[in-house]
Structure 1
Amino acid sequence: MGRKLGGLAGLLFGTIAWASTSHAEQIDRSQIQTLIREYILGNPQIIEEALTQVRLRAQKAEAEAKSAALIAERAALLESKGDIVMGNPNGDVSLVEFFDFNCGYCKRAAPDVTALLAGDPKLRVVLKDLPILGPGSVEAAKVGLAVKEVAGEARAVEFHKRLIDFRGRIDGSRAIEVAGELGIDTQRLKSVAASKEIEALISKNLDLAQRLGVTGTPSFVVGDQLLVGAVGQMPLGEAIRATRK
């Protein structure tokens, strides 16, 4: 803490020590309170210093709790069956992105992820559907997850890029239309997208996000770090390098 807080502590302990000596009969509780009150009124900035210290401690505790949660959920983050993986499947660092096809900030962040992949042959990117922006997002997410099962990982990556690049509202019908343009069997796709297995994958992602405190998209996880929003290529790159170290 600052000098003023240190001064207050010194005043308090000094007063108590003095009261414990032969002068104890000359001072009572009200006098101690008066001395402290006068000190605070004469140095009001110590209140701000104390509040700042409390806030910093709370922020540190929150950050430590989030890091611990990310480590505890490592398998769920990196090894979920339904996730789409881009880049090097055996990469030494994984960048996990929670996204929503209707999220404008996810669309803004997409070129950053693409640039990181292009410049880093050891990077693995894991895409997690987190449809939080309405029923259309849920429908599109179901189709996206079904594409992987019906047509494989490579086609799922292509589908993902097409929808993320799309300007406008996306729902199930639009997602099916894009899949058809890619030559995917839309009838089978509709059947798989409506299955309980796909619904369970989405629920699993929503539950994981809640446990990690992820409330918005995009949110990125690298090692024990959580970065929220379209933070840009540089912060993501720095997190990746820190994880490698």
Structure 2
Amino acid sequence: MFRFRVTAFAALALLAAAGPAAAQAMDDAQRRAIESVVRDYLVKNPEVILEAIQSLQAREREQSDQQAKQALVANRQKLFENPDSPVLGNPKGDVTVVEFFDYQCGYCKAVHNDVQRLVKDDGKLRFVFKEFPILGPASVTASKAALAARGQGKYMEMHDALMTHRGQLDDDTVYRLARSAGLDVDRLKKDMESPDVLKVIATNQALAEQLGIRGTPGFIFGDTIVPGAIKLDEMKKLVATVRKG
């Protein structure tokens, strides 16, 4: 068995090392012999394929994580200090948490109350909202409406109305929720198409892509990117870790 394994690996190495020129020099009989050894080995040892796939996935994850960390450092100002991003909590807090979210995301809605509680319980926390509409046209409308509501001083009112709404969103529903939040809807519609609002969404989408955030919610605690919904207790532990440095 040991000899067979060595022979198979030698064949694999030979095939991997052979460039186009070597492949042309190899006659059909040699090529068939090597292919037969490799095939027999993989049939009898299919776990080798799984090991190779797992190794490749691990390398890809490591590379992706490294790229995300570099992007986080390079975009720190846009992530944490962009004046165009709505902020909840203490504007001068010692820890800043960032959330990428979509108003049609069920998981985002599920963590909404925990986010509110996290900020309420921690007077030193600064929480930055990043609208990241990826679930269709209604998500874009909702994000534009929330951002435009800042012009009337009612971002959080609109944000809460959208997050606590149950059921699918459409444009009419977004405008109905805006009225219930005390907004002038005619003014809101005009402000939604302003270059400033569109710029915020485009910037957030570019940031998410660079950070490897492909779904919602996506959190950033210090130098840690946390994909997916998490519970309040875990949020508090992550904040405490950042605060300790």
TM-score range, shorter chain: 0.7 to 0.9
Q: Which residue of 2 aligns with 1:79?
A: 81
Q: Which residue of 2 aligns with 1:157?
A: 156
Aligned to 2:213, what secondary structure does the other structure show? coil
Contact 2:101 2:133 in 1 (8 A): yes
Please state how far the C-alpha of 1:221 moved relative to its aligned partner: 0.9
Q: Do residues 235 (structure 1) and 237 (structure 2) align? A: no
For 1:186-223, what per-residue CA distance to the aligned partner results, in whole angstroms no more than 9, with x for missing partners? 22111111223222221111111111111111111111
Mapping of residues 210-229 of structure 1, within 5 Å: 210-229=209-228
Q: Letter of the 1:85 partner, please give it.
A: V
Gap change, CA 1:178 and 1:241, over 3 Å in 2: same
Q: Which residue of 1 aligns with 2:195?
A: 196
From 110, 113, 116, the equivalent of 1:111 is 113
Structure 2: where are the runs of 5+ without partners? 1-5, 11-37
TM-score by length of 1: 0.75
For 1:141-183, what per-residue CA distance to the aligned partner results, in whole angstroms no more than 9, with x for missing partners? 11110001232xxx21122112101101223332222222232
Please state how far the C-alpha of 1:240 moved relative to its aligned partner: 1.6
Structure 1 segments of 4 or more deviating over 6 A?
42-51
Q: Which residue of 2 aligns with 1:176?
A: 175
Q: Percent identity?
A: 38
Cα distance in 2, alignment partners of residues 78 and 200 from structure 1: 17
Gap change, CA 1:61 and 1:177, over 3 Å in 2: same
Cα distance in 2, alignment partners of residues 144 and 60 from structure 1: 36
Cα distance in 2, alignment partners of residues 163 and 44 from structure 1: 51
Q: Do residues 208 (structure 1) and 218 (structure 2) align? A: no
Q: Letter of the 1:187 partner, please give it.
A: D
Contact 2:97 2:219 in 1 (8 A): yes
Cα distance in 2, alignment partners of residues 215 and 46 from structure 1: 31
Mapping of residues 2-17 of structure 1, within 5 Å: none
Contact 1:209 1:215 in 2 (8 A): yes
Q: Do residues 120 (structure 1) and 122 (structure 2) align? A: yes
Q: Letter of the 1:145 partner, please give it.
A: L
Aligned to 2:98, what secondary structure does the other structure show? strand
Q: Which residue of 2 aligns with 1:19?
A: none
Mapping of residues 13-24 of structure 1, within 5 Å: none
Gap change, CA 1:47 and 1:104, over 3 Å in 2: closer
| Range moving further from structure 2, 58-67 or 166-175 | 58-67
TM-score by length of 2: 0.75
Contact 1:70 1:225 in 2 (8 A): no
Gap change, CA 1:150 and 1:61, over 3 Å in 2: same
Contact 2:67 2:211 in 1 (8 A): no
Gap change, CA 1:175 and 1:81, over 3 Å in 2: farther
Aligned length: 213
Contact 2:98 2:128 in 1 (8 A): yes
